[in-house]
Amino acid sequence: MISKPNPTIVILPDRAALARDAARRFVTLAHTAIESRGRFTVALSGGSTPRDLYALLAMPEFATQVDWTRVHFFGGDERAVPPDHPDSNYRMAREALLSKISVPDPNVHRIHAELGPDDAAREYEIELRNFFQSQDTQVNLPSFDLILLGLGTDGHTASLFPHTRVLDETERWVAAVYVEKLGTHRITLTVPVINAAKNIVWLVAGADKADIVRTVLRGADRPDDLPAQHIQPVNGNIVWLLDQAASIKLNE
């Protein structure tokens, strides 16, 4: 049994409060990173939960607190669709945040899913290596300042789905994966890259997530059934932001 350090769990009354707490953390982490390293690197989660956070960050209350010219946005994962497709994680982030702030185009490092999953993964890994190695010649894993993650009801996160080969990937930074249950390909950061992050923030809301939250956080270690359990940052901080509804079964 891997002795897991108890992750920090913060329970917020509702989705809006969760988004606000996450926005405050984003701004604080951005200030710290920009102050110490001159830049802030963040990998965005897809799905619906983070949309409220992105929309809040785009509001003047938060947008005016960040020097967006120092922020570099990356995708944590992407669907195998073009960037204007309704399912595109990039499209959601662009509409909710990226199109509303003054972030320079070169600072938005999009996964070019329209190339097809394998080429997109290969190209994105090159982009990451060029970016992170240009700052530190000896880097063997990129260390994002912040990686945002969501949790699927099957225990997946990013596009790390149960019983997929990508869960065993130890060398590549980005992988293409065929997700049987969805009948589609995805492109995703791999487990070693996520675990190399300086900060991981989980964004989980809704009563439909209560069972999986309890299973992942309180249940037995079954990381291949529950890929979220593979997320154990080597040196970084990890915090679970849950709304009341998603946390309701934690102490059952």
Q: Which residues bind ligand 6PG (CB under 6 A)?
A: 45-49, 76-77, 89, 150-152, 156-159
Describe the strand order of the beta sheet including 40-44 as a list of residue ranges: 8-12, 237-243, 199-204, 146-149, 40-44, 71-75, 108-109
Residue owning tokens 């891997």: 2
User: Which residue's CB comes closest to ligand 6PG?
Assistant: 150
User: Cβ closer to ligand 6PG: 29 or 194?
Assistant: 194
Q: Which residue, 70 or 117, has its beta carbon nearer to ligand 6PG?
A: 117
Q: Compare residues 35 and 208 and give the one whose CB is closer to ligand 6PG.
A: 208
At closest approach, how far in Å is the CB of 81 from ligand 6PG?
11
Q: Which is nearer to ligand 6PG, 45 or 190 (CB)?
A: 45
Closest approach, Cβ 1 to ligand 6PG, in A, equals 26
DSSP state of 108: E
CA distance 243 to 11: 5
Q: How far is the CB of 18 from ligand 6PG (least distance, A)?
A: 11
- Give whole-number Cα distances, 129 to 48, 89, 142, 185, 229, in Å: 29, 22, 8, 23, 26
- For ligand 6PG, the closer of residues 58 and 212 by Cβ is 212
State the CB neighbour count (10 A cutoff) for residue 203.
Answer: 25
Q: Between 25 and 156, whose beta carbon lies closer to ligand 6PG?
A: 156
In the complex, what is the shortest distance from the CB of residue 237 to ligand 6PG, in angstroms, rounded to a whole number?
19
Q: CA of 173: how far to CAs of 146, 164, 198, 201, in Å?
A: 16, 16, 16, 19
As measured in angstroms, the least distance from the Cβ of 111 to ligand 6PG is: 11
Residue 219 · residue 107 · CB < 8 Å: no
- Nearest CA to 204 out of 249, 240, 154 is that of 240
The distance of closest approach from Cβ of residue 152 to ligand 6PG in the complex, given in angstroms and rounded to an integer, is 4
